Amino acid sequence: MAGTVVAPYLLNVTERSTDAGTAGGTKTQLAPFDYHGVRLLESPWQKQYQETRDFYYKIPDDNALKGFRERAGLPAPGVKLEGWYGNDAFNVFPQWLSGMARMSAATGDQAVGEKAHNLMLEWAKTIEPDGYFYYSRKPTFHYTYDKTVCGLVDLCKYAGYQDALPLLEKITDWAIKNLSRTRQPATSGDPSSGMSEWYTLSENLYRAYQLTGNPKYKEFGDVWPYTSYWSKFTTQTDPDIHDLHAYSHVNTLSSAAMAYAVTGDSQFLKVIINAYDYFERTQFYATGGYGPSEKLMLPDGSLGKSLEIDSNNFETICGSWAGFKLGRYLMMFTGEARYGDWIEKLLYNGIGAALPMLPDGRTFYYSDYRLGGCRKIYGAIHDIGGDWRWPCCSGTFPQVVADYHNIIYFKAPDGLYVNMFLPSEVTWTQAGTEVKVTQQTGYPESDTTNLTVQINKPTPFSLKFRVPAWSRGTTVKVNDTKLDVTIAAGTWATVQRTWNPGDRVTIQIPMEMTMVPVDRQHPNRVAFRYGPVVLVRTEESLEVPNRTELSRWITPASQSLEFHTLEESKGNLLPFYRVARGQPYRMYFDLKG
Ligand SMILES: [Zn+2]
């Protein structure tokens, strides 16, 4: 079966992408910086990145390697990492390598790159002659192979360790011979179906093919299209996807995205565009999160009803990682700004609102949006007795915070695209001239961002910035002079000029309070969002005297993004990302009348 090509419905497509300039590839509208040239400056998100980096850097190598060495019969000092880490189905080791490789590329942090490389070399000693590489002798899941491909690709691509490639080939030869090709689709109502997540494999295999040019990875990637699911988004208006596992069914769309990247077949692009539109319309909470109890919902009011019963509303870390990737692929291939709005929501209300890792491996897993009152805790609220050490989300945690460097800016031949308003610097070469732009902002706690252009000689290029879909009245100035440029919510605004050294751009994006209904069937079940930031209330009920004149009864408090309401004694509204562990809060409210 090796070399099985994509499914018939995709082969029958005659329309090819007009962007596909060359065979086997497609034109990218916007290029990400791909962990090069972007530096975070001081902000809560830079702090979260640094804390996460330090946490993973301090995990003793012997502990991470213990199970691999025991399986190989090698001396295995150290203390075993417990919880999910001990289970092959979800060992997160290669995701740590991926995250650390991306961190080292983004920040020039050699120490974290060397740690990842050393872990890889020690793990390589445990690979068996036939290429068997898992943590133990338990069932061999596609999931773990997929993450290992990602880790090895990233060690080579981002950290420059070429010696990852022979290992990648060795374990892939094993996988080609041994991984089950049953490819059973996940089915509604059967949580164990598709649980090995074979349908996310092709993304990383196609990345391996792009990196190496070795057709073996392309051919093996071609084995795993998730046709029965992907095709729903091109053939059905209301695709029946309810009860499917949420994170992996967003993550598999990144495989469709990479199938588009390596084939140029526009059908794959349609899949991800239509899927995003459907998710945006039917699956997302106000936070950008999705998947109560890890399930996709019927578009019949189930999302709104989930708030009555469910505390496990969003698998936060993995879900944000999948969202960042899919949002970025969509922006790369379409050039459209609107997908950045989702990335922004996840940044502030998803991963950016997560609690930090605990030393024993406990990981902030689910965000809690339940109507009756919520807490930020570790592990699942309905399964408090379970073991939530080193779960899947402890694998994506270092990846998704490294990704902060890869969501702020894009570039294209005409210039720079500013997607996120985060304190940062970006350096790139524009038509042979090195340009550095420094972005200073307190956004989203202030509504203004300032960009300064550092350049040696006057240089023409466009500086474009995302005008959020939720915004009204955005303005832009250059050197304090207001510009008359087209500004439309949900698109890029363009400042085209010949830039001089020291030119300053000031973008003001006024924010206002909005009430966001959870779904169409529940227009009175709302969350409060100020700009992109979801607010929560620390106390009980919330009287709503007048829905249309929010500013009359919600007034700014002394701290940014905090608000008093009429019943001040019952607590303020404040950003979800500012809520501490264990602090009670409410995110959704049923309005009266
Ligand atoms: Zn997870």
Within 10 Å of residue 393's Cβ, how many Cβ atoms?
Answer: 27
Give me ligand 1 centre to Cα 250, in Å: 12
Q: Are residues 403 and 415 in the same domain?
A: no
Q: Are residues 126 and 17 in the same domain?
A: yes
Mean pLDDT of 413-427: 98
Give me ligand 1 centre to Cα 315, in Å: 6
User: What sign does the dihedral 124-128-131-134 (CA atoms) show?
Assistant: negative
Both structure tokens of 547: 């829905």
Q: Are residues 550 and 577 in the same domain?
A: yes
Which tens digits make up the pLDDT trace of 441-461? Answer: 999 999 999 999 999 999 999
Which tens digits make up the pLDDT trace of 220-260? Answer: 999 999 999 999 999 998 899 999 999 999 999 999 999 99
Q: Are residues 300 and 436 in the same domain?
A: no
Domain of 341: which CATH number?
1.50.10.20
Give me ligand 1 centre to Cα 144, in Å: 13
Task: State residue 21's pLDDT score.
Answer: 33
Give me ligand 1 centre to Cα 393, in Å: 3
Distance CA 353, CA 367 (A): 9
Mean pLDDT of 188-207: 84
Give me ligand 1 centre to Cα 293, in Å: 12
Confidence category of residue 26, pLDDT binned at 50, 70, 90: low
Which tens digits make up the pLDDT trace of 532-582? Answer: 999 999 866 666 656 666 777 788 898 999 998 876 556 789 999 999 999
- Using DSSP's 3-state secondary structure scheme, residue 67 falls into helix
Does 188 have pLDDT greater than 80? no
Give me ligand 1 centre to Cα 517, in Å: 26
Asked whether the beta carbons of 48 and 401 are under 8 A apart, the reply is yes
Does 23 have pLDDT greater than 60? no
In the chain, % helix, strand, coil (3-state, to 5) comes to 40, 20, 40
pTM score, whole prediction: 0.94
Q: Are residues 327 and 435 in the same domain?
A: no
- Domain limit, last residue, from 508, 542, 558: 508
Task: State residue 490's pLDDT score.
Answer: 98
Q: Are residues 127 and 201 in the same domain?
A: yes
Which tens digits make up the pLDDT trace of 80-131? Answer: 999 998 878 788 999 999 999 999 999 999 999 999 999 999 999 999 999 9
Q: Are residues 473 and 549 in the same domain?
A: no
Give me ligand 1 centre to Cα 320, in Å: 9
Does 203 have pLDDT greater than 70? yes
| Structural domain count of the chain | 3
Give me ligand 1 centre to Cα 189, in Å: 20
Distance CA 58, CA 77 (A): 16
Task: State residue 399's pLDDT score.
Answer: 98
Task: State residue 540's pLDDT score.
Answer: 60
Q: Are residues 483 and 438 in the same domain?
A: yes
Give me ligand 1 centre to Cα 322, in Å: 10
Q: Which of 184, 305, 180 is nearest to 244 (CA)?
A: 184
Does 6 have pLDDT greater than 60? no
For residue 429, tell me if it sits in a domain.
Answer: yes
Does 396 have pLDDT greater than 50? yes
Give me ligand 1 centre to Cα 345, in Å: 18
For residue 364, tell me if it sits in a domain.
Answer: yes
Asked whether the beta carbons of 400 and 409 are under 8 A apart, the reply is no
Domain of 493: which CATH number?
2.60.40
Task: State residue 88's pLDDT score.
Answer: 81
For residue 1, tell me if it sits in a domain.
Answer: no
Task: State residue 305's pLDDT score.
Answer: 98
Q: Are residues 199 and 72 in the same domain?
A: yes
What is the chain's mean pLDDT, rounded? Answer: 91
For residue 388, tell me if it sits in a domain.
Answer: yes
Three-state secondary structure of 508-551: ECCCCEEEEEEECCEEEEEEEEECCEEEEECCCCCCCCCCCCHH
Confidence category of residue 139, pLDDT binned at 50, 70, 90: confident
Give me ligand 1 centre to Cα 559, in Å: 33
Share of the chain above pLDDT 70, in %: 90
Task: State residue 373's pLDDT score.
Answer: 86
- Domain limit, last residue, from 459, 485, 508: 508
- Domain limit, last residue, from 468, 483, 508: 508
Give me ligand 1 centre to Cα 489, in Å: 33
Range of the domain at 456: 411-443+448-508
Q: Are residues 295 and 437 in the same domain?
A: no
Asked whether the beta carbons of 496 and 451 are under 8 A apart, the reply is no
Both structure tokens of 226: 């998730």
Q: Are residues 540 and 475 in the same domain?
A: no
Give me ligand 1 centre to Cα 537, in Å: 27
Task: State residue 416's pLDDT score.
Answer: 98
Give me ligand 1 centre to Cα 319, in Å: 7
Mean pLDDT of 136-143: 88
Q: Are residues 89 and 218 in the same domain?
A: yes
Which tens digits make up the pLDDT trace of 517-536? Answer: 999 999 999 999 999 999 99
For residue 78, tell me if it sits in a domain.
Answer: yes
For residue 563, tell me if it sits in a domain.
Answer: yes
More confident residue, 589 or 454: 454
Does 8 have pLDDT greater than 50? no
Task: State residue 381's pLDDT score.
Answer: 55
Give me ligand 1 centre to Cα 42, in Å: 28
Asked whether the beta carbons of 177 and 123 are under 8 A apart, the reply is no
Confidence category of residue 384, pLDDT binned at 50, 70, 90: low
Distance CA 295, CA 186 (A): 12
For residue 2, tell me if it sits in a domain.
Answer: no
For residue 478, tell me if it sits in a domain.
Answer: yes
Give me ligand 1 centre to Cα 200, in Å: 14
Give me ligand 1 centre to Cα 442, in Å: 30
Task: State residue 269's pLDDT score.
Answer: 97
Confidence category of residue 7, pLDDT binned at 50, 70, 90: very low
